[in-house]
């Protein structure tokens, strides 16, 4: 069953457990107001768990007016179609580049298979289409009024071209998805680049600076909770993303293979962060490799 914790005023973290593939928490956020919003609902497997356990948690999901995945990668927005079909009054807020893929998700399903294999549905559940009538196409800088709080949409490309971040007026926090890196439970102060392909390092770094200039007081991470040390985390996310890029680019130009790249990244982590261990970063490596090859 999901676990629920109030992490800021009228803002609840829904811990939906870990998927066996990614081994990182699936975290959604419920913003309670006159009209409520659910941010980053996760894949269908966890979204269905949320629906089935909502009454036990004391949640009234019927009040949800907006479902907002920060992006449509399966671990963030894969369950949006399932939720939309079960919450027909809710609108799903999507970046314009994500709309076609969620109305008719065949290409999204294909790309998810390429990354996670033919049996991805066994772990994540199916990716279901969203009825066109339930889609709200986001605009840069748009403000969504919930009641006591306003949500401002900020386009945040780099990790994904269809990534958005959400600035909340009530908590003065930012729901940043993976635009500011990925925090892991065993390394809560070391945001690592989230760089599954397609990935754009230049846009990623520009987005980090753009979000830093919003001066949020809290960062709501999609996989690992809420943090208040905003400046430090964004600075470190930029440093790590750039360092990974420099290492990977130099090894590619030297003709080295993936194993050597992993060794160099591990040396970087151990040399810069006490007791830090390099997690599985194969997706990050492939995103960087594609980025540098496309630039050449």
DSSP one-letter string for 156-219: --SS-TT-EEEEETTTTEEEEETTT-EEETTEEEEEEP--PSS--HHHHHHHHHHHHTT--SEE
Q: How far apart are CA 296 and CA 293, in angstroms?
A: 5
Position of tokens 């599954």? 196
pLDDT at 283 over 70: no
Percent of the chain with pLDDT over 90: 69
Round to whole Å and give the CA distance between 263 and 194.
Answer: 18
pTM of this prediction exceeds 0.75: yes
Q: Could you count the other beta carbons within 10 Å of the beta carbon of residue 15?
A: 16
Q: How many CA atoms lie within 13 A of 198 on its CB side?
A: 11
Q: What is the pLDDT of residue 99?
A: 98
What's residue 282's pLDDT? 59
Q: Which of 286, 228, 275, 223 is nearest to 252 (CA)?
A: 286
Q: Which residues pair with 94 in a beta bridge?
A: 137
| Residues in Cβ contact with 278 at an 8 Å cutoff, skipping those fewer than 6 apart | 262, 265, 266, 269
Collapsed DSSP state (helix, strand, coil) of residue 283:
helix
| pLDDT value of residue 117 | 87
Alpha helices in 6-154 (DSSP H): 44-57, 74-77, 80-86, 99-103, 106-116, 120-124
Given a cut of 70, is residue 162 above it in pLDDT?
Answer: yes
Q: Which residue from 148, 181, 155, 156 is spatially nearest to 37, judged by alpha carbons?
A: 148
Q: Which stretch of DSSP H or E encloses residue 265?
A: helix 258-272
Structure confidence by residue, pLDDT tens digits, 181-196? 998 877 888 999 999 8
> What mean pLDDT comes out for the span 112-140?
93
Determine phi and psi for 224, rounding to 5 degrees.
-150, 45
Spell out the SS3 assignment of 229-256: CHHHHHHHHHHHHHHHHHHHHHHHHCCC
For residue range 171-180, what is the model confidence (pLDDT) as tens digits?
999 999 999 9
pLDDT at 40: 96
Mean pLDDT, rounded, for 256-274: 89
Average pLDDT over residues 251-274: 89
Asked if residue 98 has pLDDT above 60, the reply is: yes
- Taking each helix axis from N to C end, the angle separating 258-272 and 230-253, rounded to the nearest 10 degrees, works out to 150
Q: Give the pLDDT confidence of 243-258 residue by residue, as tens digits.
A: 999 999 999 999 998 8
Domains of the chain, with CATH numbers?
A: 3-238 (3.60.15.10)
Which pLDDT tens digit goes with each residue over 1-50? 678 899 999 999 998 777 666 767 788 999 999 999 999 999 998 888 88
Token pair of 293 as six digits: 């090859």
pLDDT tens-place string over residues 206-242: 999 999 999 999 999 988 889 999 999 999 999 999 9
Strands 143-145 and 150-155: what pairing? antiparallel
Q: Are strands 64-68 and 91-94 parallel, antiparallel or unpaired?
A: parallel
Pairing relation of β-strands 164-168 and 218-221? unpaired
* Three-state secondary-structure class, residue 225: strand
Instruction: List the structure tokens of 225.
Output: 């909770």
pLDDT of 153: 98
pLDDT tier, 279 (very low <50, low <70, confident <90, very high otherwise): low
**Is pLDDT of 291 > 80?**
yes
Closest CA to 31 of 6, 50, 54, 52: 6
Better-predicted residue by pLDDT, 277 or 70: 70
């Amino acid at each position: 069953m999901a676990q629920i914790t109030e992490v800021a005023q009228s803002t609840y973290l829904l811990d939906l457990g870990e998927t066996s593939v990614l081994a990182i928490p699936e975290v959604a956020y419920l913003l309670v107001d006159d009209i409520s919003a659910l941010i980053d609902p996760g894949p269908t497997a966890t979204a269905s768990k949320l629906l089935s356990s909502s009454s036990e948690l004391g949640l009234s999901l019927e009040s949800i007016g907006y479902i907002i995945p920060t992006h449509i990668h399966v671990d963030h927005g894969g369950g949006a179609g399932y939720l939309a079909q079960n919450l027909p009054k809710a609108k799903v807020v999507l970046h314009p580049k994500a709309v076609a893929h969620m109305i008719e998700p065949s290409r999204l399903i294909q790309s998810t298979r390429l990354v996670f294999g033919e049996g991805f549905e066994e772990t994540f559940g199916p990716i279901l289409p969203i009825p066109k009538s339930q889609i709200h196409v986001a605009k840069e800088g748009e403000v969504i009024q919930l009641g006591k709080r306003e949500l401002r949409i900020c386009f945040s490309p780099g990790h994904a071209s269809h990534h958005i971040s959400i600035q909340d007026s009530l908590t003065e926090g930012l729901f940043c998805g993976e635009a500011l890196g990925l925090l892991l439970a065993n390394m809560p102060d070391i945001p690592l680049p989230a760089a599954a392909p397609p990935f754009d390092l230049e846009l990623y770094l520009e987005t980090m600076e753009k979000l830093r200039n919003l001066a949020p007081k809290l960062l709501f991470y999609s996989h690992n909770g809420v943090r208040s040390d905003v400046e430090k985390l964004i600075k470190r996310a930029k440093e790590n993303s750039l360092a990974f890029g420099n290492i990977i680019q130099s090894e590619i130009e030297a003709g080295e293979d993936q194993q050597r790249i992993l060794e160099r990244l591990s040396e970087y982590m151990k040399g810069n962060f006490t007791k830090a261990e390099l997690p599985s970063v194969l997706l990050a490596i492939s995103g960087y490799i594609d980025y540098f090859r496309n630039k050449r």
